[in-house]
Structure 1
Amino acid sequence: MTAVFRASHAIRAQFFVLGVLFATWGVHVPTVKSLYGLGEQALALAMLASGVGALLALAQAGRVVGRWGPRAVSGTMGVLCCAAIACLLAWPVYPALLAVMAVFGITGSLLDVAINTEATEVEHQSGRPLMSGFHGMFSLGGMAGASFGSVAPGLGLSAQGHLLLATGLGAALTLLASRAMLPVPERAAEEKHPLSLPRGPLLLLGVLAAMGLVAEGAMYDWSVLFMKQERGSSASHAALAYASFSGAMAAGRFAGDWVRARLSGAVLMRFSGVLAASGMALGLLVPSPAVALLGFALVGLGLSNVVPVLFSAASKVPGISSAHGIAAVSGVGYLGMMAGPPLIGLVAEHASLAAGLWVVVVFAGFMALSARRAMRA
C-alpha cells in the first residue's frame, strides 16, 4: 500500500469526521434554541460567533498550516473541534454558547484548510481528479451524523449522550487518520504576499464561494428547525432534512470528478446555482414535509461541486501556496456564511423562517448568473 493511497483514505476519514461534526451541530440547533431559550435572532448571533471565529482563524490559516503542516494541524484541530461540539449543551448560559461556537468556528476552519491542503497534494501526486470525492466524504459524514441524530432518541440516548458519543468517536478517528497523512512540501518561498484581502482571480473565486456557502450554511443551520417549526415534524423526522441534503450532496460529489472531466467550470457552476435555487423554492412553496425533503435534496445536489471546484482552482493560482489560496477563498466564503445566518434570523424574527430561507434562492441565483465571468477570470 503506497503512502499516497494511505493518505487518500486518511483524508477521506478526516472529511467524514468534519461532516459528522457539522451535522451534529445542525441536528441540535432546535435543542440549543430550547435549552438556552433563544429567539431566531439570538440563535443567529450564536451562529455568527462561529463565523467570526472562523474568519479570524482563516487570516492565519495559511501560515499555521505552512508552519506546522496539515498532519499536525488536522490532528490537533480535529480533537479541539470535537471537544467544542461536545460542550455545546454543557453550560446553558448564553455567553458560554457564544464562546463554544467561536471555538467551533476557529478549530473547524483550521481543520478545513489543513485537510483541503493535504487533499490538493494527494490529488497532485496521484495525477487524477480526486477533490470532489474527498468532499463527498464530508457530505457522507453529514448524512451519517444527521441519521444517527435522528435515531439517537429512539436508542435512549439523551442529547448530551449523543454529543459525547459522536464527538468521542470523531476525535479517535481524526487522530488515527492524521498519522497516515503525507508531509506536504513547504512552498513559502513561492509566496509573494501573506494572506490579505484577495484580489483578482482569488477574489472572484471567493465571491462564488460566498454565494454557495450562504446557501450551504443555511441548510446546516436552519433546515432541521424549519422542518420542526414550519412543517410540524417531530425531532426524529426533522433531522432527516439535514440527512436528505447531505445524502444528495454526497452523491453529487462522488460523481463530481467524472462530471468535472466533461463540463467546464462555468457550465457546472451555472447549472449548480439554478438547481439549488429551484430546489429551495420548491421546498418553500409547497407546504409538505415530503416535498421539503425533496427540495433540500435538490439543493444538496446543486451545491455539491461548488466548493470542490473552487478550492481546486484556488490551489493552482500562481505565486501562492495551496494553503494560502484555499484560505483566501475560504475567507471570502466565510464572510458570506457569516452574513447568511443573521440575515435569515433577522427576517425570521420579523416574518417567518420560511421567508428568511428565500435568501438561499437569491444567493444561488446570483451564483448562477456570475459563474461565467468568475470562472473565466
Structure 2
Amino acid sequence: MTTLEPADLPALAAGTFEQPTARRLSQARRASRAHFAALGVLGGAWGVHIPSVKAQYGLGEGSLSLVLFAAACGAVLSLFFAGRTIGRFGVRRALVLGAIVMAASLAAVLHWPSLPWLLPSMLLFGAAMSLYDVALNAEGTALESVGGRAIMGNLHGMFSVGGMAGAALTALLLRLDIAPTVQLAAISAAVVAVVLFAARFMLDAHPQDDNAGAQAHFAWPRGQLLIIGLLIFAGMTAEGVMYDWSVLYLKQELGMAQAQAGIGFAVFSAAMALARFGGDSLRARLPEAALLRGGALVAGVAMAALLLIGHPWMALVGYAFVGVGLALVVPILFNAATRVPGVSRAAAIASVSSIGYSGFLVGPPLIGSVAQAVSLTAALSLVVVAMAALALGARRIA
C-alpha cells in the first residue's frame, strides 16, 4: 500500500473550504481508517484465493504471472488519469466508484469462461484499486493538513490489519468448505457496504495545496529522486511478491492445505501492521537511513532463512519478520523524497510513486516466469536480492 499525492488533486470546493469541527474531523478520521481496512480486506481475500484462480483456470506459474501482470498494469496505468478523475468527480465519488468496480471485479474473478476473459477483468481490477488508493490517500493527506497531526502511519496500519483480517476470514471460510465463489461475492458485497457507509463521513472539502502548481502534475525522476524511486521499487517488488506468492509457496512448495496456507498472508499483514503502528515513534528517535537499512536486512535474512529451512511453520515465522522489515520502507522513502530540493512535495511523491508501482508491475510476474523455468522456491530468492539492494542503497537517504 502506498501514500500517493497526485499534484493535480484540487480542493473539492476551492475557495469555500471551512475548518471542520473537532467532532467532524474525528468522524472523518474513523471513516478513513475504515476505508484503508476495507482495501486491506479485499487484498487479503485476493491473496488467499490466488491458488483458487490457478486451479479454476488450470494455469501454470507462467500463465498465472500474466494474470498478476494484468492487475499490475491496470494499477500503473490508472496513476496517469486517477488525479484528474478525482479532480473532476471529487474524492468521495471517485473512492466509491473505485470500491464498487474493484469489488465487482473480485467477485467475478472465478466466473469467467477462460483466461482471455479473465485478463481484461484483472486489468480493470488493478485500475480500480489504484483509483481507490489515490482517493483515500488524498483524503488522509487532507486530514493531516486540517487536523495538524500525522495520521498516515496509523491509516496504513489499518490497511495491514484489514489484510490480516481478510486473509484470516478467507482461510476460515475455506476450512468450513464454503465455495470460493460464494466467499468472494460475500466479502466484496460487505466491503462495498462499509465503504458506502463510511463515505458519508468524509471531509466535505479539501484545503487548497499551495505547493501544487500546474507545472507539478508529474516530474520524471532523476538524480536523488531516481535513487529514491529505485529503492522504493526494490521494497515494493518484495511487498508485491509477498502479497501474490506467499500463500502459493506454502501450499505448493511446502504442502500446506490452502486453508492453513492463508494464515501466512495474515501473519505477514499482522506483523507489518504492528510495525507500522509503532513506526512513528522509532522514526522520531533513530536515523531514517539506519531504520531503512535495518529493516531491509531483517526482511532479507528472514526470507533467506525460510527458503533454506523449508518448514511450513518456520516459514510463518519468517513471514512475520519479512513484514516487520518491510513496514517502514514506504513511509521513510516517501518522506525522503519530499526533502529533495527544487521539487514540490506533490511532484516528488507522484514521481517516486510511479517507479514504486512498477515494482508491483514487474515483481510478481518475474517471480512467475522464474518459477516456471526453475522453481517457486528459487524464484522467491529474488526477494533476498531486492532487500540486499535496499540495504546497500539506504546510505543515500539523507
Report the TM range for the smaller structure's normalisation: over 0.9
Q: Aligned pairs, how many?
A: 374
CA offset at residue 191 of structure 1?
3.6
Whole-angstrom distance in 1 between the partners of 2:86 and 2:338: 14
Alpha-carbon contact 1:191-1:319 (below 8 Å) kept: no
Letter of the structure 2 residue corresponding to residue 176 of structure 1: F
Q: Match of 2:256, SS?
A: coil
Whole-angstrom distance in 2 between the partners of 1:325 and 1:180: 30
Q: Match of 1:197, SS?
A: coil
Q: Does 1:335 align with 2:358?
A: yes
Which 4+ residue blocks in structure 1 deviate beyond 6 angstroms?
Answer: 315-318
Whole-angstrom distance in 2 between the partners of 1:203 and 1:176: 40
Matching residue of 1:206: 229
Matching residue of 1:59: 80
- Cα deviations across residues 79-110 of structure 1 (Å, max 9, x unaligned)? 21111111111114101211111011101111
Paired residue for 2:127, among 103, 106, 130? 106
Matching residue of 2:206: 184
Matching residue of 1:68: 89
Alignment of 1:261-340 (within 5 A): 261-314=284-337, 320=344, 322=346, 325-340=348-363
Larger radius of gyration: 2
Whole-angstrom distance in 1 between the partners of 2:55 and 2:194: 31
Q: Does 1:24 align with 2:61?
A: no
Letter of the structure 2 residue corresponding to residue 294 of structure 1: V
Alpha-carbon contact 1:132-1:309 (below 8 Å) kept: no
Whole-angstrom distance in 1 between the partners of 2:99 and 2:350: 17
Runs of 5+ consecutive residues of structure 1 not aligned to the other structure:
none
- Cα deviations across residues 310-363 of structure 1 (Å, max 9, x unaligned)? 3455567775464x5544322111112211112111111111101000011110
Question: Structure 1 pair 39/156, CA: closer, same or farther in 2 (3 Å)?
Answer: closer
Q: Does 1:35 align with 2:30?
A: no
Alpha-carbon contact 1:69-1:184 (below 8 Å) kept: no
Letter of the structure 2 residue corresponding to residue 262 of structure 1: R
Paired residue for 1:258, among 271, 281, 284? 281
Alpha-carbon contact 2:75-2:128 (below 8 Å) kept: yes
Alpha-carbon contact 2:146-2:207 (below 8 Å) kept: no
CA offset at residue 68 of structure 1?
3.3
Letter of the structure 2 residue corresponding to residue 53 of structure 1: G
Runs of 5+ consecutive residues of structure 2 not aligned to the other structure:
1-21
Paired residue for 1:115, among 136, 143, 146? 136
- Cα deviations across residues 277-312 of structure 1 (Å, max 9, x unaligned)? 011111101121011001111111111121233345
Scaled by the length of structure 2, the TM-score of the pair is 0.89
Whole-angstrom distance in 1 between the partners of 2:103 and 2:337: 28
Whole-angstrom distance in 2 between the partners of 1:246 and 1:220: 9
State, as a whole percentage, how many aligned pairs show the same letter.
45
Q: Match of 2:215, SS?
A: coil
Letter of the structure 2 residue corresponding to residue 247 of structure 1: A
Alpha-carbon contact 1:192-1:320 (below 8 Å) kept: no
Question: Structure 1 pair 2/184, CA: closer, same or farther in 2 (3 Å)?
Answer: same
Q: Does 1:174 align with 2:201?
A: no
Moved more, 333-342 or 245-254: 333-342
Alpha-carbon contact 1:41-1:346 (below 8 Å) kept: yes
Alpha-carbon contact 1:79-1:171 (below 8 Å) kept: yes
Q: Does 1:46 align with 2:67?
A: yes
Whole-angstrom distance in 1 between the partners of 2:50 and 2:350: 27
Question: Structure 1 pair 95/279, CA: closer, same or farther in 2 (3 Å)?
Answer: same
Report the RMSD for the aligned CA atoms in angstroms.
1.9
Alpha-carbon contact 1:35-1:92 (below 8 Å) kept: no
Alpha-carbon contact 2:51-2:248 (below 8 Å) kept: yes
Whole-angstrom distance in 2 between the partners of 1:118 and 1:329: 20
- Cα deviations across residues 205-253 of structure 1 (Å, max 9, x unaligned)? 3222211111111111001000000000001111011011001011111
Whole-angstrom distance in 1 between the partners of 2:219 and 2:395: 25
Whole-angstrom distance in 2 between the partners of 1:74 and 1:300: 27
